[in-house]
Structure 1
Amino acid sequence: MLLGYAGTILYIDLTTGKTRTEKLNEETAKKYVGGLGLGTKLWLSNSKARVDPLSPENPLVLAIGPVSGTMFPTGGNGHVFVSKSPATGGVGAAVSHGTFGAELKRAGYDAIVFTGKSEKPVYIWIDDESIQLIDAANLWGKSPGETEDAIKSELGDYYVRVASIGLAGEKQSKIACIINEKTRAAGRGGLGAVMGSKNLKAIAVRGTHDINVAKLEEFMDMVKEFHERMKGPAARKYRTLGSVENILINNELQCMPTNNYNNGYFQNAEKVSGEVLNERYVAKIIGCNSCAMRCEHEAIVREGPYKDALARMEYDNLWALGPNCGVDRLDSIIKAAERCTFYGLDAQSVGVAVSFLMDCFENGLVSAEELGGVDAHFG
């Protein structure tokens, strides 16, 4: 018996609406360790060569690893979507964290393989062994945050965990992401577009099963040891500032993506540092499942033209929408990140696309006239 795993793979055919389960193969689990390994194996086993990423024949796999859902810090909270990427044409993997993956494990599943395409928009409601495809026509066009609120209200359960797409996924943008818990993004690869191509608006999960490990006493000793390390001085700054602490560190190392990677040093890095973000903008600090690091920082703009803009800020979306575009105003960066989340766009992909356009503009490859009068200089 495989401990740590739920032991079940769920298959959902969106074309027919039929579901089935399959026992997780022990050899597969040992050979393809973790959500990424298992998810990639399942995608390869259910796909075919040269499949169109946005066709019904391209499976979308949601997978988690053996540690997900346990009390192990940092590793017990992740999940990954795997499919053929519409952005690259290769295998795409989009990772996110929070509590969604842990809830899926508690519902009794190590992975879900979505195949086919629904005739109309639907969302999946997984309540332990109960699997339902529910009409999502009323959710189509809503943001991920609005979708999550609507589903929780409809199901009458605040503790349901939801992953959904926004307008970008519905329109099959190649940089669409999948958002869980309103602000956490499974970003790279455009897998939100794959989800949208299947008319799958959201996945809602509620689980009540226990997760068992092989050697509980030894496991808990290891958990305690990691928690003690996380309380130590080496992690103090990360624990306090979150991943945005890397802004000043990487800038000092001259590896800060600046002006479409034309430079590795951003002159105004102090203005967008983790220290300034936390001092002036952070409204809430959130931890993922079983993780005391609490590196997720929600920031809000309290005054000015972008007042009340709210976004979860990390190093990735901050450098992409900030220094890499030559932008040194945190209120503007937070607003841009909020818009990305609202539409279900990968903020990092948006940032690098915009910075590339700015670079083209500054080098005379595209004009303001072609951009509808927009001055696209860096900054």
Structure 2
Amino acid sequence: MEYLSSNKIAIIDLGASKTIQKELDEDLVKEKIGGAGITTALYEEYRDEDPIVLGTGLLTGTLAPASALGMVTAKSPVTGKICHAPFTLYGGVELKYCGFDYVVIKGSSPKPVYLWIHDGIADVNDGKEIWGKDVWISTDMIREVMGDPLIQILAIGKAGESESDFAQVCINYWASGDRWGFGKLFGQKKLKLVAMRGMSLLEIADPEGFVRKCKEFLSTIKSGPYAGKGGIGELSAAMGEDIRQWLEPIIHRHLSCFNTPFPTNTFVFLDEDPKLLKETEKKEPGFLITDVHGLLGYKKLGLSAAEACDLLRDCAKYGIDAVAVAELSQKAGKKKPDEIKKSLSGLKGSLESVGKGKFSPWAPSFTLSSDEWERRQAVAYLFGIHPIYALMSPEFSEEKLIELANLGTGLGFTSETLDKVIIDILK
């Protein structure tokens, strides 16, 4: 696969501590497009070896607006089905730039390990020094050892190590869109984390046409209803659950994921003045809210914004799904922060918030029907578009994404191709 691709798939056998590489077949891209289409195909190819598949969308890491998506595809311990969880911020683009479009992780290691994927190389390294550490400490340790603070990391905490059904794979220090318990799968495989760093380049079939169309696309988006807005508060308002006034006193700033026009993340200060302009001297001044549902769950328990965000921080360090914690705490009648924190290590119960679909409910439905939401998510996961922003922006038409894909690859994708792939991954 020559264009919009690193042209490599890493097959990592944790049991043997070995990695092999194979080319990304252009025929597979023509048939499955990318993203969840190919991660699903790779999962099926290695199904007998209980794989976890990391992947990127066809447009991930390009000038296409909101092309920030990376994904994890595996069998969910929560639903028992093959599901897809998103990771955004700069994780998706880093995976593609480090030299691999897809990574298949199969088998289990007899001892703790982590993966170091960089510059077209995938190493299986001893993880005994970071096993037992929380997500934040693990992330810091790897970045310090490698001497690079820009390394992107998918990590589990103690919830994953203890194989909790609600263990989450986190992105750097923060919650991801993993609502499927994929952190438990990492723990079962003795895989502590995946560290990614690279500076590859992507070739484009029609560079001038692709860049021109991306600029036109972005210009259209800038005149949309969310232009000039941003943050978790705006997301909640669009969902019909406005928390802006409740959250405002602790907001420090809003942050966008790679090349995403709308900042879907909000950083709050918990141990520092939120209006501080100079660099804080505190080591852990606050928390980046990346999941609106977790925040809303704690608000429904009657907590203050500061209490809710402090709990989100504890959940991220422990590597557990905050939405599950909030829902099960409500069922158990636990509404005090201290008693909720104490329950993290023994959390059990069934969830109603997960749903039965293939794509993470991390992305709000807004005003879409379930069928509309599912199709929009499928399109986002194929092309590598931020799943939340894809729902917020009607400008992301399937026709425009197909046009960008064809300018980028020259492969001649059609709406019929897209329909077929969507049907396949929704089976």
> Normalization by structure 1: what TM-score?
0.79
Mapped to 2, the partners of 1:227 and 1:145 lie a distance apart of: 35
Q: How does 1:118-267 map to 2 (within 5 A)?
A: 118-232=109-223, 234-236=225-227, 239-251=228-240
Q: Is the 8 A contact 1:98 1:181 kept in 2?
A: no
Q: Is the 8 A contact 2:70 2:95 kept in 1?
A: no
The amino acid that maps onto 2:289 is: R
Change (3 A) 1:311 1:287: closer
Aligned with 1:334 (options 280, 303, 309): 309
Q: How does 1:78-157 map to 2 (within 5 A)?
A: 78-157=69-148
Mapped to 2, the partners of 1:68 and 1:197 lie a distance apart of: 29
Query: What is the aligned-residue RMSD (CA, Å)?
Result: 2.3
Q: Is the 8 A contact 2:71 2:86 kept in 1?
A: yes
Q: Using the TM superposition, give the Cα deviation of residue 165 of structure 1 relative to its aligned residue in structure 2, in angstroms.
A: 0.7
Change (3 A) 1:295 1:249: closer
Q: The residue matched to 2:196 in structure 1 has which SS? A: strand
Q: Is the 8 A contact 2:10 2:122 kept in 1?
A: no
The amino acid that maps onto 1:274 is: R
Q: Is the 8 A contact 1:168 1:192 kept in 2?
A: yes
Q: Is the 8 A contact 1:5 1:65 kept in 2?
A: no
The amino acid that maps onto 2:297 is: A
Q: Using the TM superposition, give the Cα deviation of residue 309 of structure 1 relative to its aligned residue in structure 2, in angstroms.
A: 4.9
Aligned to 1:11: 11
Mapped to 2, the partners of 1:316 and 1:280 lie a distance apart of: 19
Mapped to 2, the partners of 1:40 and 1:244 lie a distance apart of: 34
Segments of structure 2 that go 5 or more residues without pairing to the other structure are 274-283, 336-427
Mapped to 1, the partners of 2:237 and 2:93 lie a distance apart of: 33
Q: Using the TM superposition, give the Cα deviation of residue 79 of structure 1 relative to its aligned residue in structure 2, in angstroms.
A: 0.8
The amino acid that maps onto 2:5 is: Y
Aligned to 1:372: none
Aligned to 1:281: 250
Q: Using the TM superposition, give the Cα deviation of residue 2 of structure 1 relative to its aligned residue in structure 2, in angstroms.
A: 4.1
Mapped to 2, the partners of 1:358 and 1:228 lie a distance apart of: 49
Segments of structure 1 that go 5 or more residues without pairing to the other structure are 49-56, 257-268, 362-379
Q: Is the 8 A contact 1:122 1:134 kept in 2?
A: yes
Q: Is the 8 A contact 1:282 1:298 kept in 2?
A: yes
Aligned to 2:413: none
The amino acid that maps onto 1:132 is: D
Change (3 A) 1:357 1:199: same
Q: Is the 8 A contact 1:244 1:313 kept in 2?
A: no
Change (3 A) 1:280 1:316: same
Q: Is the 8 A contact 1:285 1:298 kept in 2?
A: yes
The amino acid that maps onto 1:40 is: T
Aligned to 1:295: 264
Change (3 A) 1:281 1:189: same
Mapped to 2, the partners of 1:203 and 1:172 lie a distance apart of: 17
Q: State the percentage of identical aligned residues.
A: 28
Mapped to 2, the partners of 1:36 and 1:158 lie a distance apart of: 29
For the pair 1:321 / 2:313, whether they are aligned, the reply is no
Change (3 A) 1:192 1:15: same
